[in-house]
């Protein structure tokens, strides 16, 4: 692991320890109640039960961020539903009750213009090669993934991280035959963690969450792809003001501090 990875993990641990409190699971709420004097400083402070659909790679950081938001906004409860961005899009199209959406790519969000408010990029991410702890196969670069003796797992091409992976491999004219194509980035990481695969392409932030189980091989910037995370309210939300306040907060200093401590890049 690089020293930069180590510093970010340490920072993330400090932020998590300071902020993480249990999130209350809750059902939808048809009404939101205005609150005055909220410490959050958000554009529209309200009480509400909010359901947020979010990309799998945001699981850990949004748990921490959600706890911080609830602490700053007493009376607001957040419930997160994490899945691959393509699964979240299907949920929105099928009318699943929710208030906000955060995907791991702009393409998926752009396909939902009829269902969302104007999206805002809240963070960026980059790809790394995840290997078993200690990198036993001595993988050094993308070209090594073409070794037929290696068991490589990728995300399915309809998943943002799978599409990014295909993009960088195709650009380098590297032909990788994965042993499986997974529905989200966490499933790719799990295969490597469990030893069911020798390597996989994941987001940098996902590799950082499992330092005792995987190593991360950096991909040079010239060969890499940058993932952008847009957030938007859903037009079907019954808590429009509260949803807009949460989405706006994600771009603010407190949320950005949490995201960047977890290894995400500035928007």
pLDDT digits (tens, 9 = 90+) for 10-43: 444 433 443 333 343 333 344 444 443 344 444 4
Of 151 and 22, more confident:
151
pLDDT of residue 46: 65
Q: How far is CA 155 from CA 78, 146, 162, 243, in A?
A: 28, 16, 4, 30
Question: Whose CA is closest to 155, among 112, 194, 113, 104?
Answer: 104
Average pLDDT of the segment spanning 161-179: 97
pLDDT of residue 37: 38
pLDDT of residue 209: 85
CA distance 35 to 74: 9
pLDDT of residue 65: 98
Where in the sequence of the chain do the CATH 3.40.190.10 domains occur? 3-124+227-261, 125-226
The residues facing 234 across adjacent strands are 116
CA distance 66 to 185: 21
What homologous superfamily does CATH list for 125-226?
Periplasmic binding protein-like II (3.40.190.10)
Least confident of 11-20, 72-81, 184-193: 11-20
The structure's pTM equals: 0.81
Q: How far is CA 123 from CA 77, 141, 214, 230, in A?
A: 23, 26, 24, 8
Buried b (16+ CB within 10 A) or exposed e, 201-221: bbbbbbbbbbeebbbbbbbee
Work out the mean pLDDT of the chain and round it to a whole number: 87
Question: Quick check: 40 and 245 in contact, CB under 8 A?
Answer: yes
Indicate whether 204 pLDDT > 90.
yes
Q: Which helix (H) or strand (E) holds 73?
A: none
Q: What is the pLDDT of residues 82-137, one digit of tens each?
A: 999 999 999 999 999 999 999 999 999 999 999 999 999 999 999 999 999 999 99
CA distance 119 to 115: 11
Query: Domain 3-124+227-261 carries which CATH code?
Result: 3.40.190.10
């Amino acid at each position: 692991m690089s020293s930069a990875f180590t510093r970010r993990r340490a920072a993330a641990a400090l932020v998590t320890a300071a902020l993480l409190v249990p999130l209350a699971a809750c059902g939808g709420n048809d009404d939101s109640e205005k609150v005055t004097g909220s410490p959050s400083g958000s554009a529209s402070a309200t009480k509400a039960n909010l359901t947020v659909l979010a990309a799998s790679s945001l699981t850990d950081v949004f748990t921490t961020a959600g706890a911080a938001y609830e602490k700053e906004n007493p009376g607001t409860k957040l419930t997160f539903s994490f899945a691959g961005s393509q699964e979240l899009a299907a949920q929105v199209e099928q009318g699943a009750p929710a208030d906000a959406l955060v995907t791991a790519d702009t393409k998926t969000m752009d396909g939902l213009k009829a269902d969302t408010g104007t999206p805002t990029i809240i963070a960026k991410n980059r790809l790394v090669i995840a290997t078993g702890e200690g990198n036993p196969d001595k993988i050094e670069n993308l070209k090594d993934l073409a070794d037929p003796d290696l068991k490589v797992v990728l995300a399915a091409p309809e998943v943002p991280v799978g599409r990014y992976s295909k993009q960088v491999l195709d650009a380098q004219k590297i032909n990788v035959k994965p042993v499986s194509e997974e529905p989200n980035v966490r499933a790719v990481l799990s295969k490597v963690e469990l030893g069911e695969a020798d390597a996989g392409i994941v987001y940098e932030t996902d590799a950082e969450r499992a330092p005792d189980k995987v190593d991360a091989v950096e991909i040079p910037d010239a060969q890499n792809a940058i993932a952008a995370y847009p957030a938007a309210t859903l037009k079907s939300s019954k808590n429009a003001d509260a949803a807009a306040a949460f989405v706006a907060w994600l771009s603010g200093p407190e949320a950005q501090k949490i995201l960047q401590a977890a290894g995400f890049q500035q928007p």
